[in-house]
């Protein structure tokens, strides 16, 4: 599978630009995983870390689910792999498959897109039930971009260690 990444607009409104940047980072994660077998996707970075490409996909599914569905949309749903809210648990993908991880991640991305598009503005707010903090959709989207940016850096190193591919 080859993932198509669309560059964010060079000139555009705030919402269009933030949305496009987030989608670009989502596509970057998928690109880092393109063409790899499950065994490669489960390969860990280095002991004692359990970090793997599939672990990153699972972690970012939890991030999408938590911020968009639980905080912005107010859904009372558990996390998939991190029931206690410890997102590190999702990193251990030793028994995971591409199909399982990507199905969950893609579903959460679609939920997030639907929630964002339904919001009348980036000023919409939601509450984190654990902390009671109130977040704007704007801050959530920027935070999720930041999560992807950091973890795509990890994905760069993981992919290079698997097959030497760099710069995708």
Q: What percent of the chain has pLDDT over 70?
A: 98
69 located within any domain: yes
Q: What is the pLDDT of residue 45?
A: 85
Output 103-109 pairs: Cβ under 8 A, ≥24 positions apart.
Answer: 104/58, 104/61, 104/80, 105/57, 105/58, 105/60, 105/61, 105/64, 107/61, 108/61, 108/62, 108/64, 108/65, 108/68, 108/69, 109/26, 109/64
107 located within any domain: yes
Q: Please, which pLDDT band fits residue 1 given cuts at 50, 70 and 90? A: low
Q: What is the pLDDT of residue 121?
A: 98
Does residue 68 carry a pLDDT above 80?
yes
Whole-prediction pTM: 0.93
> pLDDT by residue (tens digit) across 85-134?
676 777 778 888 999 999 999 999 999 999 999 999 999 999 999 899 99
The domain that holds 107 is classified in CATH as 1.20.120.450
Q: What is the pLDDT of residue 89?
A: 75
Domain residues for the domain of 22 are 14-163
Q: Count other C-beta atoms under 10 Å from residue 9's C-beta.
A: 12
3 located within any domain: no
**pLDDT mean across residues, the chain:** 92
pLDDT mean over 151-168: 92
168 located within any domain: no
2 located within any domain: no
Q: What is the pLDDT of residue 59?
A: 93
Q: Please, which pLDDT band fits residue 4 given cuts at 50, 70 and 90? A: confident
Say how many domains are in the chain: 1
142 located within any domain: yes
Q: What is the pLDDT of residue 3?
A: 77
Q: How far apart are CA 156 and CA 154, in angstroms?
A: 5
CA 62 to mean position of chain CA atoms: 7
């Amino acid at each position: 599978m080859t993932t198509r990444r669309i560059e964010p607009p060079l000139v555009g409104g705030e919402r269009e630009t933030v949305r496009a940047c987030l989608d670009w980072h989502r596509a970057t994660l998928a690109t880092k995983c393109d063409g790899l077998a499950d065994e490669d996707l489960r390969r860990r970075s280095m002991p004692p870390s359990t970090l793997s490409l599939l672990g990153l996909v699972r972690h970012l599914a939890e991030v999408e689910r938590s911020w968009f569905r639980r905080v912005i949309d107010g859904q009372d749903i558990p996390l998939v792999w991190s029931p206690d809210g410890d997102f590190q648990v999702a990193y251990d993908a030793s028994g995971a498959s591409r199909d399982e991880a990507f199905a969950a991640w893609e579903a959460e991305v679609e939920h997030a897109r639907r929630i964002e598009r339904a919001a009348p503005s980036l000023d919409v707010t939601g509450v984190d039930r654990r902390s009671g903090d109130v977040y704007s959709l704007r801050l959530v989207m920027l935070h999720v971009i930041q999560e992807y940016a950091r973890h795509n850096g990890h994905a760069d190193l993981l992919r290079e260690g698997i097959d030497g591919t760099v710069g995708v």
